[in-house]
Chain A
């Protein structure tokens, strides 16, 4: 879903193509929004319905959060587009350092 400067030689054709391309991308984004709302509802429901053990609920809702954030990053923040190699490097470096911090803090202080 790259969005480069297009040149068919006919400006009218180019504009029509781009307008459709943008509309198509918007549709993907609306679909990912619907999925994000759906995942949020499941996460809240999993907590609202008593009867699951926390050994199930906690990993389950964290998984839902991670999936939702992937939608947010790749569709809303356009990381699925071309030209996002450097942003991916920056973001995943941040995630790596952050994950080590969380691992360290939650294992060092456990009593």
Chain B
């Protein structure tokens, strides 16, 4: 099986994400990258935990003054649902249903964009309350951690849209199927990081 071969529903392999050597390498390399990302985010979490609520004077807002449950909840639901929609996209990829896969990828991108919009609104709201990147160690640690995750979401959005545009008229083959699969792994990993952010930053922040 070579990458440019034309497939039908009948000839499509069971594991298209690992059917060529390039695909196998991509799969392995991407998981190695995710291991590195785990360390990166863990050290940002460590920094945040060490510097949480470390502000220079008592006028500055602390975690429990800033965070609000409803906004975090809506953002969490958006991102969690987008993780499921990318699972649906990969389900259709495995069944060689190109247009269905594209629809679900589109929904995934929309949900991701919604999440990002909420985060922009949230950050601007915090800045008005005096919680800025340079105002305290707490601010720096918070915006670095949450902003880095938001940056990953923004990158994922660009990635998803680029993949969809680039392959819009190409259909599924063994050249692009691993690309879609690796994107879905990335998107799930973003959700994994968010689960810890909403727990450690927002929920633990509100507990005190």
Q: Are A106 and B50 in contact (CB under 8 A)?
A: yes
Chain B residues lying within 8 Å of A3, measured Cβ to Cβ, are: 14-15, 94
Chain A residues lying within 8 Å of B3, measured Cβ to Cβ, are: none
With both chains docked as a complex, state the minimum distance between the C-beta of B54 and any C-beta of chain A, in angstroms: 9
Chain B residues lying within 8 Å of A30, measured Cβ to Cβ, are: 84
Q: Does B203 contact A (CB under 8 A)?
A: yes
Q: Answer whether A43 and B80 are a contact pair too, CB < 8 Å, given A97-B42, A101-B46, A109-B50.
A: no
Mark contacts of A31-72 with chain B using CB atoms, 8 A cut-off: 1 yes-contact digit, 0 otherwise. Answer: 001001100100110111000001001100110110011001
Q: Are B49 and A105 in contact (CB under 8 A)?
A: yes
Q: Does B163 contact A (CB under 8 A)?
A: no
Q: Are B199 and A65 in contact (CB under 8 A)?
A: yes
Minimal Cβ-Cβ distance residue in A for B18: A83
Q: Are B15 and A76 in contact (CB under 8 A)?
A: no
With both chains docked as a complex, state the minimum distance between the C-beta of B23 and any C-beta of chain A, in angstroms: 12
- Give the contact stretch, choosing among B109-117, B125-133, B146-154, B187-195: B187-195
Chain A residues lying within 8 Å of B95, measured Cβ to Cβ, are: 19, 22
Minimal Cβ-Cβ distance residue in B for A57: B207
Chain B residues lying within 8 Å of A46, measured Cβ to Cβ, are: 203
Query: What CA separation (Å) do A57 and B203 show in the bound complex?
Result: 9
A86-111, CB < 8 A from B? 86-87, 90-91, 93-95, 97-99, 101-102, 104-106, 108-109
Interface size class of B (residues with CB under 8 A): 35 or more
Q: Does B168 contact A (CB under 8 A)?
A: no
Which of B50, B73, B192 has a CB less than 8 Å from the CB of A69?
B192
Q: Are B35 and A69 in contact (CB under 8 A)?
A: no
Q: Does A9 contact B (CB under 8 A)?
A: no
Q: Are A72 and B188 in contact (CB under 8 A)?
A: yes
Query: What CA separation (Å) do A77 and B43 show in the bound complex?
Result: 23
Q: Are B203 and A11 in contact (CB under 8 A)?
A: no
Query: What CA separation (Å) do A93 and B33 show in the bound complex?
Result: 12
Chain B residues lying within 8 Å of A64, measured Cβ to Cβ, are: 199
Which of A37, A72, A77, A101 has a CB less than 8 Å from the CB of B42?
A101
Q: Are A26 and B91 in contact (CB under 8 A)?
A: yes
Chain A residues lying within 8 Å of B34, measured Cβ to Cβ, are: 87, 90-91, 94
Q: Answer whether A44 and B73 are a contact pair too, CB < 8 Å, given A57-B207, A61-B199.
A: yes
Q: Are A5 and B80 in contact (CB under 8 A)?
A: no
Query: What CA separation (Å) do A40 and B76 show in the bound complex?
Result: 8
9 smallest beta-carbon distances between A and B, as pairs: A98-B42, A94-B38, A90-B35, A105-B46, A87-B31, A94-B35, A65-B199, A109-B50, A105-B50
Query: What CA separation (Å) do A73 and B190 show in the bound complex?
Result: 11
